[in-house]
Structures are given as structure tokens and as C-alpha cells.
Amino acid sequence: MIIFALCLAGVWIADFLPIALPANVIAMLLLFILLVFRAVKPVHIETTADFLLKNMAFFFLPATVGVMEHFDLLKSSLLPLLVICTFTTLLTFLATAYTVKGVTALQNRLEKAKERVVLTGKEEAKCRN
Amino acid sequence: MQELISSPMFGLCLSLGAYLAGSWICVRFRLTLVNPMLLAAVLVIGFLKLTNISIEDYRTGADFIGMFLGPATVALAFSIYSQFEVLKKNLLPVLAGCTVGAATSIFSVWGLCRLFGLSSEMTVSLLPKSVTTPIAMSVSEQLGGIAPITVAAVVITGIIGSMLAPLLLRFVKIGNPVAVGLGMGASAHAMGTAKALEIGELEGAMSGLAIGITGFVTVILAMFL
């Protein structure tokens, strides 16, 4: 019930929001905020959320079947579509993975530098003593 | 006969039956590359073509199923929340990785579509293809794309990503489970996550997190297109 009510709230908010944000995504954000601030507890929505998440693939079936209306369009650009999907997917994978790796390495280096500052500080204090 | 077909129950039963058959085939033949939904879609399309039943008749009932997509998208918040601790621990790498990933995906798709001379309608349908289907559909519709094409592209991307990314890992050493997981989730959404779970638990959790965050970043980026 909470989830469905939030969906409705999402549609309502999307209506008067000046930016074009999809209603479902607004509702998703709302639920996340409610969960973080413990206004909604996981027990309240667990059963429904699990049901929805587990059967998500099934809910897409009608949308996928809609592809049959666009067969001509798909057929005429099948090869570019496959090339685009393959290339961009791998590129995205590498870009994400290397960014994460880089940021983690940077964080580690900063932390070590901090530790060193603390350590040298302590040693100086020792020397003074 | 026409009465039977135009009843909402027809679309519902056909969808359920096809999905059950798809699931059964996947389990029976241990198919990992195609998922039950894809098989079910092929079955439904084949059935409608063979019997010459119009897609409108199918939609009378099938639209009820599609209605659940909204709530299912909202439920994604719950799955991000269950990874909240992991998110807090790796906040900066996760946000940076997903943002770069989403941007890379959008710009590379846009560039290649231009290169191949695809129509703008087709281009916006493909733009959100690396994010999870419910968000991809919302973004595509918002930009004036064709939702079914987007769904097809998302599924193809998932299959390609979950198939080729582990292969790619053999050639490039990333050696950081957080990075691998986030990469899989950001590029190949739920199907990448399923594969990431096979590689390791941390990879899987990270990948699941990446689905939600990349989706959200994509929505934000799409607003400026």
C-alpha cells in the first residue's frame, strides 16, 4: 500500500515540478528518503517490495512484446544497434571500473599521507620532550 | 471466439503461460544467456503472428501487467537501502564511478548513433540502455523515444555485458572487487549483477548498488539533453 501510494504521490509531484523528472523515479527517491529517516521501516514494505523486485522481469513482458510493432525499424538498423550496444557497454564497464579504482587509490594515498603527518607530528613532540 | 480474445483475461493468460514456459525452458536447458522474459516475449509474438490476433487484443489484458512496473521501480529504493551500509563505506568511489559510467554510456551511445546516422527517435531510445529497464523506459519516454526499442536495447546490453565483461576481465587486470562490481552494474544493470554475484559477494552487492545509482545519475543527465 505504501509503495502504491508513493507512486501516486510521484505522479502528483512530477506534475508541478519545474524539471522533467519521471514520476516513478521521484517516488523511488521519496521511498529512499523515508527509509533513511526511518519514517518507513523495512518490515512495512518488505513483502511487497520483494514480490515486485522478484517478478520485475515479468512486468516488462508487455512492453517487450510491443517491439513487434517496430520490427521494420529494428530490422533496418540491427547491425548498428548491436555494434553500439557491444562497444558502449564495454566502454562503460571499463570507465566505471577504472574510475572506482583511481578514486580508491587516491583515497588510500590521502589517508596514508594523513597518517604520516600524524606520525611525524608525534615524533616531533617526542623529540621536544 | 472474438469475445474470448478481446477479454482482458486473454492477454493475462497468454503472458503468464508464456512466462512460465520461458522459465521452464531456461531451467530445463540451463540457459544462462537468454532470460525467461526474452523467451516469453518471443513466444507471445510468435503466437500473435501465427493466429493473426492483433496486439491491441493482447494489450487489453497485458496492460494490467505493465501497470506494476511503476511500483517495481519504486521498490528499487528498497534494494538500494538494503545495501546502505556498503554504500556509506564506499560513498565516494561509488558516486564517482557511477557518474562517470552513466556519462560515458550516454555520450558514447550518442556519438555512435550520430556516426551510424540513426534517427533522433532511435538515438533517444538507445541513450538510457545501460540502466535498469524501468528507469530506462521512463527516460526514453521523457525524451520522446520508443519504449519497446529501449526495452530491447536494455536486454541486449544486459546479455552482451554479462557475457563479455568477465571475458574482458581476463585481459585487463582490475583486481579490485568494488571496481569490478560497480562496473558490471553500471554497464549491464541486473544481468551484470547476476554475473557479478557469480564472481563474488562483494562484487554482487556493489553491482546491485550501481544499478540504482547509475539509473538515478542517468535521469539527472537526461534532464539536460
Mutant choice from A13, A28, A110 vs B, greatest count of B C-beta within 10 A: A28
CA-closest candidate to residue B133, choices A118, A53, A80: A53
Contact between A99 and B176 using a beta-carbon 8 Å cutoff: no
> How far apart (Å, rounded) are the C-alpha atoms in residues B196 and B141?
29
Q: What is the DSSP string of A52-106?
A: HHHTHHHHTHHHHHGGGGGHHHHHHTHHHHHHHHHHHHHHHHHHHHHHHHHHHHH
B75 to A97: CB separation less than 8 angstroms, yes or no: no
Q: Which residue of B has its CA nearest to A104?
A: B93
Q: What is the DSSP string of A15-28?
A: HH-SS---HHHHHH
The answer, for B174 touching chain A at a CB cutoff of 8 Å, is yes
> For chain A, how big is the Rg over CA atoms in Å?
25
Q: How far is CA B99 from the centre of its chain?
A: 18
A17 touching B, CB under 8 A?
A: no
pLDDT of residue B148: 85
Q: Which residue has the higher pLDDT, B33 or A47?
A: A47
pLDDT at B1: 66
Is B133 at the interface with chain A, CB within 8 A?
Answer: yes
pLDDT band at A91 (very low <50, low <70, confident <90, very high): very high
More confidently predicted of B103 and A24: B103
| pLDDT in single tens digits along all 225 residues of chain B | 677 777 778 888 888 899 999 888 888 887 766 778 888 888 999 998 898 888 888 888 888 888 887 888 888 888 888 888 878 888 888 899 999 999 999 999 999 999 988 888 889 999 998 888 888 888 898 888 888 889 888 888 888 888 888 888 888 888 888 899 899 888 888 778 878 878 887 888 888 888 888 988 998 888 887
Amino acid type, B101: G
Q: What values do phi and psi take at B53, rounded to 5?
A: -85, 135
Interatomic CA distance for residues B78 and B8, integer angstroms? 31
Chain B residue closest in CA terms to A60? B66
Q: With both helix axes pointing from N to C terminus, report the angle between A42-54 and B69-81 in degrees, rounded to the nearest 10.
A: 120
CA distance B52 to B22: 22
Q: For position A18, what pLDDT does the model report?
A: 62
Q: Does B167 touch chain A (CB under 8 A)?
A: no
If you measure CA to CA, which chain B residue comes closest to A86? B160
Q: Is A107 helix (H, G, I), strand (E, B) or coil?
A: helix
Q: Which residue out of A64, A70, A77 would a mutagenesis test of the B interface target, given it has the greatest number of B Cβ atoms within 10 Å?
A: A64
Greater confidence, B34 or A60? A60
Q: Do B134 and A93 touch (CB under 8 A)?
A: no
> Can you tell me the ipTM of this complex?
0.81
According to the per-residue pLDDT averaged within each range, which of A29-33, A55-59, B71-75, B113-117 is highest?
B113-117
Residues A53-77: what's their mean pLDDT?
80
**pLDDT at B38 (0 to 100):** 81
Hey, are the CB atoms on A94 and B73 less than 8 Å from each other?
A: no
Q: How far apart are the first and last CA of chain A?
A: 67
- The pLDDT-based confidence of A20 (bands split at 50, 70, 90) is low
Label residue B173 left, alpha or beta by phi (over 0 means left) and psi (-120 to 50 means alpha).
Answer: beta
pTM: 0.78
Q: Do B75 and A88 touch (CB under 8 A)?
A: no
